[in-house]
Amino acid sequence: MPLRVVSVCLGNICRSPMAEAIFKDMVDNAGLADEIVVDSVGTGNWHVGERPHPGTQEVLRAHGISFDHRARQIQASDLQGADYLIAMDRSNLADIRRMGPTDAEVGLLLDYAEGVDETDVPDPYYSGGFDRVYRLVEAGCRGLLEHIREKEGIVA
Ligand code: 4NP
């Protein structure tokens, strides 16, 4: 069974679909597509069924990263089925914890990033800043893949 890595934000239209696309790109480039499945969810339900926010689409296209996602809300089955639940900010992390126990490793994306002082990926929905969000998410995804490889014994 492949590992299941699920990124989590509030609306599942800005940050977590960006993390999903960037992380999937890294997994594909590492030749690990058969070993790691990537998905994303939101804790809220306002945007269920929507494609990523135009700002997320634009920055992903600018970096040549493909995406194919429709927003969905986190379900109990995600807590059971995921191996890694990766929150974009502390509020998302608290929401995941409130849903109950899970065997998944639950963490903050930027805790995996090297050389990044921030704890939370800022929410660009109202204030923009998608380029900065991209840089932070990219650093987090890079460190997360390294962490998973080490923990799971997936050698290069
Ligand atoms: P996201 O951004 O959590 O990164 O997808 C947001 C999207 C929608 C809302 C808030 C944040 N909203 O309030 O609808």
Residue 35 near ligand 1, beta carbon < 6 Å: no
Q: Which pLDDT score is estimated for 155?
A: 85
Q: What is the pTM of this model?
A: 0.98
138 band by pLDDT with thresholds 50, 70 and 90 = very high
List Cβ neighbours of 127 (8 Å cut-off, separation of 6 or more).
none
User: Rounded mean pLDDT of 23-46?
Assistant: 98
Are 40 and 9 within 8 A, CB to CB?
Answer: yes
Q: Flag whether pLDDT at 55 surpasses 90.
A: yes
Q: What is the residue with the minimal CA distance to atom 8 of ligand 1? A: 11
Ligand 1: residue of 13, 45, 110 to mutate (most ligand atoms within 8 A of CB) is 13
Name which of 18, 24, 9 is nearest 73 in CA terms. Answer: 9
pLDDT in tens, 81-95: 999 999 999 999 999
Question: Closest ligand 1 atom to the C-alpha of 16?
Answer: 4
Mean pLDDT, the chain, integer: 97
**What is the distance between the alpha carbons of residues 93 and 57, in angstroms, rounded to a whole number?**
24
